[in-house]
C-alpha cells in the first residue's frame, strides 16, 4: 500500500477561520483564534498523520494590504508558501459577493500551477441555496480541483476536506513522527495563547499593537507546578492602562484564561505572572520583530 504525504498551505483573507479549521483537523489548540482580523502572524507548521498518509499544514497570516513592516512580513510569508507546497487551500467565508480582496487573491492563484481547493467556511450561517450560489460563482473561474463547503466551528464536512487533500497528495515519506502535531516550540505556543486571550479581552484599537514575550519557564523542584513569567508589549502608554484595566482586573482576566489553556498544553499546574511594558512603534522596529520571531 502506498503512503501519501505532502505540504498544504491554508490561505485567505484575515478572519475567515483558517486557524479554527487547523485546530479542528489537528484536534489540539495550536493556532490562536480570535474574532479580530490578522490574528495569525507567523507561518505555523502542524502535522496530521493518518493510517497511510501525513499532511503537513502551513497556517499562514491572512493576505491583506500591509500598513507597516509587520504587515509586510505577514503578507510576504503568506505569498511565499504558495510555491513551496503540494496543495493550496484557499478559504473564504459566507460572504455572497466576490470582493476586491477576493479578486486580488484570485489573480495570485491563476498564475500558480499548484493544485487548489476552495473551502467555503461558516456555512452554518447561510442557507443551502446561498451556498450553491457561492459555489457557482467561483466554479466559473475554473482553477479549483474541488470546492468544499464546511463549518470549521462545528466540524461539518471537515473529514471530506481531509479525504480530498489526501487524494491530491503525491506518494512520499512520513516526514514527522506520528505523535508529533507541530514543530513550534512550547515557548511560542504559550506566548500565542496569552496573545489570544489578550485579543479577546481588549478593545479594537489595542490588539494589533501587542506582542507577548516569554521571560521564564521554570518547573519547581518537586515538578508539581511550572512558573511562567511573560510580558505583554504594547505601543502606547494609554494602551498599557487599557491592558491592565481598573484595579488590574483585565490583566488578571487575561492571565486566568491563558493559564487554563497553558495547563492543558503542558499537562501540569501553572503559576503565570504577566507584566505589561510599552515599546513604542515596535511593529516598525526590525530588532523587535526578530525578537518576537517575525523574521
Say whether both 264 and 120 belong to one domain: no
Say whether both 87 and 226 belong to one domain: no
Residue 72 lies in a domain: yes
Say whether both 160 and 248 belong to one domain: no
Q: What is the pLDDT of residue 180?
A: 80
Q: Which range marks the domain in which residue 250 is found?
A: 186-291
Q: What is the mean pLDDT of residues 93-106?
A: 85
Say whether both 155 and 201 belong to one domain: no
Q: What is the pLDDT of residue 68?
A: 66
Lowest-confidence pick of 51-60, 76-85, 230-239: 76-85
Say whether both 149 and 27 belong to one domain: yes
Residue 127 lies in a domain: yes
CATH code of the domain in which 265 resides = 3.30.300.20
Tell me the three state secondary structure of residue 143: coil
CATH code of the domain in which 133 resides = 3.40.50.300
Decide if pLDDT at 44 tops 80.
Answer: no
In the predicted model, what is the mean pLDDT of the chain? 83
Say whether both 155 and 217 belong to one domain: no
33 vs 275, higher pLDDT: 275
Say whether both 9 and 151 belong to one domain: yes
Residues 155 and 256: their CA atoms lie apart, in Å, by 28
Say whether both 146 and 28 belong to one domain: yes
Say whether both 121 and 194 belong to one domain: no
Q: What is the mean pLDDT of residues 174-186?
A: 79
Q: How many residues does the chain have?
A: 295
Residue 89 lies in a domain: yes
Are 240 and 278 in contact by the 8 Å Cβ rule? The answer is yes
User: How many domains in the chain?
Assistant: 2
Residue where a domain terminates, one of 168, 196, 220: 168
Q: What is the pLDDT of residue 41?
A: 44
Residue where a domain terminates, one of 142, 168, 194: 168
Residue 142 lies in a domain: yes
Residue 135 lies in a domain: yes
3-class SS string, 81-107: HHHCCCEEEEEECCCCCCCHHHHHHHH
Q: What is the pLDDT of residue 286?
A: 75
Q: What is the pLDDT of residue 210?
A: 83
Q: Give the cell for residue 86.
A: 503540494
Q: Where are the alpha helices (DSSP H) in the chain?
A: 18-26, 69-80, 100-110, 128-139, 158-168, 186-201, 237-244, 249-266, 286-291
Residue 174 lies in a domain: no
pTM value is: 0.63
Determine the longest span between alpha carbons in the chain, in angstroms. 63
Say whether both 271 and 143 belong to one domain: no
What digits encode the pLDDT tens for the residues 191-206? 888 988 888 888 665 6
Residue where a domain terminates, one of 168, 197, 223: 168
Residue 95 lies in a domain: yes
Residue 25 lies in a domain: yes
Tell me the three state secondary structure of residue 32: coil
Residues 157 and 127: their CA atoms lie apart, in Å, by 16
Say whether both 28 and 153 belong to one domain: yes
Q: What is the pLDDT of residue 145?
A: 95
Say whether both 40 and 157 belong to one domain: yes
Cβ–Cβ contacts within 10 Å for residue 83, how many? 11
Residues 83 and 37: their CA atoms lie apart, in Å, by 25
Q: What is the mean pLDDT of residues 38-52?
A: 69
Q: What is the pLDDT of residue 50?
A: 92
Q: What is the mean pLDDT of residues 186-195?
A: 85
Amino acid at each position: 500500500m502506498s503512503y501519501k504525504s505532502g505540504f498544504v498551505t491554508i490561505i485567505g483573507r484575515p478572519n475567515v477561520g483558517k486557524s479554527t479549521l487547523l485546530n479542528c483537523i489537528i484536534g489540539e489548540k495550536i493556532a490562536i483564534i480570535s474574532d479580530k482580523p490578522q490574528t495569525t502572524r507567523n507561518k505555523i507548521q502542524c502535522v496530521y498523520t493518518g493510517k497511510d498518509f501525513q499532511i503537513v499544514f502551513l497556517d499562514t497570516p491572512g493576505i491583506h494590504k500591509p500598513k507597516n513592516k509587520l504587515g509586510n512580513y505577514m503578507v510576504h510569508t503568506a505569498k511565499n508558501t504558495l510555491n513551496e507546497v503540494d496543495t493550496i487551500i484557499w478559504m473564504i467565508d459566507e460572504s455572497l459577493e466576490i470582493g476586491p480582496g477576493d479578486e486580488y487573491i484570485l489573480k495570485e492563484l491563476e498564475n500558480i500551477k499548484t493544485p487548489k481547493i476552495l473551502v467555503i467556511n461558516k456555512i452554518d450561517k447561510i442557507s443551502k441555496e446561498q451556498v450553491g450560489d457561492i459555489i457557482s460563482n467561483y466554479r466559473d473561474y475554473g482553477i479549483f480541483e474541488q470546492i468544499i463547503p464546511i463549518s470549521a466551528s462545528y466540524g461539518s464536512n471537515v473529514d471530506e476536506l481531509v479525504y480530498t487533500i489526501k487524494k491530491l497528495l503525491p506518494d512520499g515519506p512520513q516526514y514527522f513522527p506520528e505523535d508529533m502535531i507541530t514543530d513550534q516550540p512550547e515557548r511560542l505556543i504559550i506566548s500565542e495563547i496569552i496573545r489570544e486571550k489578550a485579543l479577546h479581552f481588549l478593545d479594537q484599537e489595542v490588539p494589533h499593537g501587542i506582542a507577548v514575550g516569554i521571560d521564564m519557564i521554570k518547573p519547581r523542584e518537586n515538578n508539581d507546578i511550572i512558573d511562567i513569567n511573560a510580558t505583554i508589549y504594547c505601543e502606547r502608554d494609554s494602551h498599557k492602562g487599557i491592558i491592565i484595566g481598573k484595579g488590574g482586573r483585565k490583566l488578571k482576566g487575561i492571565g486566568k484564561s491563558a493559564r487554563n489553556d497553558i495547563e492543558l498544553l503542558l499537562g501540569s499546574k501553572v503559576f503565570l505572572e504577566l507584566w505589561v511594558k510599552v515599546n513604542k512603534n515596535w511593529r516598525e522596529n526590525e530588532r523587535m520583530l526578530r525578537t518576537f520571531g517575525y523574521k
